[in-house]
Amino acid sequence: MTNIQRAAAYIDLGILEENYNTIRSKLSPEVGLLCVVKADAYGHGAIEVSRRLESLGAFYLGVATIDEAVELRTSKIKIPILVMSGIMPWDDVSTLLQQNLTPVVYDFDTLARICEMKKDFQTPLRIHLKFDTGMGRLGFMTDDASKVIDRLKGAENIKVDGLMSHFSSSEIRDDYGMGQVNAFRKVTEEFVKRGFRTKVIHMANSGAITNYPDAHFTMVRAGISLYGSHPTLELKKQLPTRPTMKFTSRIALIREFPAGHALSYGRTYVTSKKTKVAYIPVGYADGYPRSLSNKGSVLINNNRCSIIGRICMDWFLVDITDLNEVNIKDEVILLGESKSDVVTADEIGKISDTIPYEILCKISKRVTRVYI
């Protein structure tokens, strides 16, 4: 069995393009679209995904780390790249300049560091400044806007290309979220008043694209929606993007067991009747959640079949007793569509008590990516 038969993630770049256009249709023509490709494009493969997004006219790409950005530059990706986790204390700032990368700056220590280095820059370091309007994670406090501006005065080799913030709960529209929008607007107004006219102002992520059109400003950031998953069912209705990934395996073995037989680790499943079992050569080492043990389901020959017993590192078991015709090598859809049904990352996330982001990001390198 070749690796592509054992486990493959098929990435449909045509659906990715459809999703990009669906998101774009929700925006005014003058609003740019940053496409988030961090974490290997949420498990989809950052290089291939970025190439397609660049060809579609994406305004920016968003990554987490400098290493992720360098990988894209090495692969000849030319469009602006925002390093959203910023400059770590151990990062070499010269790499940002050499690779034409734009880091996010969100704390005074980092701001002081680059201001002290500015005389050594051969070209201006372009940055986005992040303000904490209520997320409580990264960002200057909004009351510090004037202090940030004072620190940047005279820093000729540092160019503030963007201002940004982040919603704490963009999946719902409420007074707290609107308070964040208003707080960020005051920050942008302070920068204009003090003579800073930044090219890019952004706050809205996937949820806010539909829930907070007031926060579109000059750019929005599309992440999970670009890959066809959604924080809530209501957002799926408002922004109907489709899953771009189909994660499959094949049946490697079929066995039958009598009633009363325990299956897999911990004997958590005991057959109640004569049971036909399919063995699938995928496990949590491939990023398939162990939390789906005795809970999840897969699609085999357009039928939904239950996972039984504990999911192992390299295997899991499926009850195929009720299938009329099933054979070794038949395709098993762990994530994606058959002709009559679909298993989504949203569904798996709900069963696993997590979010679709984690499900997609954890599909491991052991699973071959195939691009359509």
pLDDT in tens, 43-68: 999 999 999 999 999 999 999 999 99
Q: Which of 204, 238, 272 is the last residue of a domain?
A: 238
* 38 noted as active-site residue: yes
Residues 272 and 363 in one domain: yes
In angstroms, how far apart are the furthest CA atoms of the chain?
Answer: 80
What pLDDT is attached to residue 112? 92
Q: Which of 207, 238, 269 is the last residue of a domain?
A: 238
User: Within a domain: residue 124?
Assistant: yes
Residues 90 and 230 in one domain: yes
Give DSSP secondary structure letters for 259-323.
TT-EESGGG-EE-SS-EEEEEES--GGGT--GGGTTT-EEEETTEEEEEES---SS-EEEE-TT-
322: tokens are: 């009720």
Among residues 38, 130, 212, 227, which one is catalytic?
38
Mean pLDDT of 71-100: 95
Q: Model confidence over 106-134: pLDDT tens digits?
A: 999 999 999 888 777 888 899 999 999 99
What pLDDT is attached to residue 231? 75
Domain that holds residue 296: 245-371
Residues 225 and 269 in one domain: no
User: Within a domain: residue 328?
Assistant: yes
Comparing CA positions, the residue from 29, 41, 33, 103 lying closest to residue 66 is: 103
User: Within a domain: residue 24?
Assistant: no
* 265 noted as active-site residue: yes
Residues 111 and 259 in one domain: no
Residues 219 and 288 in one domain: no
- The CATH number assigned to the domain holding 309 equals 2.40.37.10
- The CATH number assigned to the domain holding 190 equals 3.20.20.10
Residues 229 and 109 in one domain: yes
User: Within a domain: residue 15?
Assistant: no
Assign 164 to helix, strand or coil: strand
- Whether the predicted pLDDT of 1 surpasses 50: no
What pLDDT is attached to residue 18? 97
pTM, whole model, 2 decimals? 0.92
Residues 52 and 159 in one domain: yes
Residues 75 and 223 in one domain: yes
Residues 209 and 65 in one domain: yes
Residues 60 and 194 in one domain: yes
Residues 127 and 258 in one domain: no
Q: Kindly indicate the confidence band of residue 2, based on its pLDDT and cuts at 50, 70 and 90.
A: low
User: Within a domain: residue 8?
Assistant: no
Domain count, the chain: 2
21: tokens are: 């256009």
Residues 197 and 140 in one domain: yes
Among residues 76, 237, 265, 350, which one is catalytic?
265
272: tokens are: 């109640």
Mean pLDDT of 80-109: 95
Q: Model confidence over 260-313: pLDDT tens digits?
A: 999 999 999 999 999 999 999 999 999 999 999 999 999 999 999 999 999 999
- Whether the predicted pLDDT of 236 surpasses 90: no
What pLDDT is attached to residue 4? 83
Give DSSP secondary structure letters for 62-101.
EESSHHHHHHHHHTT--S-EEETT---TT--HHHHHHTT-
